[in-house]
Amino acid sequence: MSAINPYSRAEQRLQALGISAPEDIDLEAIAWDEGVRVQYSDLSGCEARLVGVGDRAIVTIRSSTDDRRKRFSLAHELGHWNYHRGRSFECRADDMVEKFSSKPIEEREADSYAADLLMPAYMFQPLVRNVKRPTFDAVSELAEKFNTSITATAIRMVDVNVWPLLLVCHAKGGRLWFKRSRDVPDRWFPQGELDSDSLAFDRLFGEKDRTRAQKIGAEAWFDRRGAERFNIVEDAIRISNGQVLALLWIEDNEMLDDSGRY
């Protein structure tokens, strides 16, 4: 057997089409090439729908959502088309990027296809490596380049594991979900309630949408003995539905030590 192809299915698609820059990722053209017709209408109860018959399909996207969300929805439906051909899907908004672990496998596969198609690692990773500091300023710049949402872009940034990061989403009722880069040890598990010292707390309950990222004692995020010895860099931003995203950068290498000393 030959060497394993390092590119995912979606990335191989892009490469076969000769696409090498973010602005050339034309989803409707890719859909057309795969026998998928795309239409926009007033869907109610779901964000996007895929109806497939044989080697043709129609994807319907809710017209009232913003453009970056529509783009993610279309990429997600193309994921279903590639992985689950022969079936039809109705996907809700919160199926798209949240609640990773509780989602059915088909939804996770479609999400991961979407992330690879919209932000292929071979384009995304080099840009993330060039970032000076992994904060929401950097996320916003990448989101602009790839025409993707702040949330989807931040998730991708954590997933590519170039920087040791945690991404934590909170609503007023507590933590909704979090993601961690592979290099961040499992013992750094963010607590369920926001600490009033955190920037995220300010964003959730205060007036400001955003200030600058700042250093903060790790104990504001991790309820674990020894956390008070470390500082991390926190950035926080308000997103839709009254939720706040916090991006935590584990800058101190001792926190990444897996020898069991800390």
**Is 119 among the residues that bind Zn ion (CB under 5 A)?**
no
CB of 48 to Zn ion, least distance (A): 7
Q: Which residue is nearest to Zn ion (CB)?
A: 91
Kindly indicate which of the ranges 63-71, 106-114, 208-216, 237-245 contains the residues binding Zn ion, using the contact rule CB under 5 A: 106-114
Q: Is 110 in the site for Zn ion (CB under 5 A)?
A: yes
Q: Which stretch binds Zn ion (CB under 5 A): 34-42, 109-117, 142-150, 203-211?
A: 109-117
Angle at which helices 150-159 and 105-118 cross, to 10°: 90
Taking the complex as a whole, the smallest distance from the CB of residue 36 to Zn ion amounts, in Å, to: 14
Nearer to Zn ion, 89 or 188 (CB): 89
Which stretch in 21-29, 100-108, 147-155, 206-214 sits in contact with Zn ion by CB under 5 A?
Answer: 100-108
The interface mask with Zn ion, positions 69-98, x = CB under 5 A, is: --------------------x-x-------
Nearer to Zn ion, 44 or 259 (CB): 44
Looking at the Cβ atoms of 135 and 151, the one nearer to Zn ion is 151
Among the residue ranges 31-39, 102-110, 172-180, 230-238, the one whose residues contact Zn ion (CB under 5 A): 102-110
Q: Does 157 bind Zn ion (CB under 5 A)?
A: no
Q: Which is nearer to Zn ion, 89 or 136 (CB)?
A: 89
Is there binding between residue 43 and Zn ion (CB under 5 A)?
no
Greatest extent of the chain over all pairs of C-alpha atoms, in Å:
60
Q: Which is nearer to Zn ion, 107 or 116 (CB)?
A: 107
| 3-state DSSP of the chain | CCCCCCCCHHHHHHHHCCCCCHHHCCHHHHHHHCCEEEEEECCCCCCEEEEEECCEEEEEEECCCCHHHHHHHHHHHHHHHHHCCCCCEEECHHHHCCCHHHCCHHHHHHHHHHHHHHCCHHHHHHHHHCCCCCCHHHHHHHHHHHCCCHHHHHHHHHHCCCCCEEEEEEECCEEEEEEECCCCCCCCCCCCCCCCCCHHHHHHHCCCCCCCCEEEEHHHCCCCCCHHHCEEEEEEEECCCCCEEEEEECCCHHHHCCCCCC
Task: By CB under 5 A, name the binding residues for Zn ion.
Answer: 89, 91, 107, 110
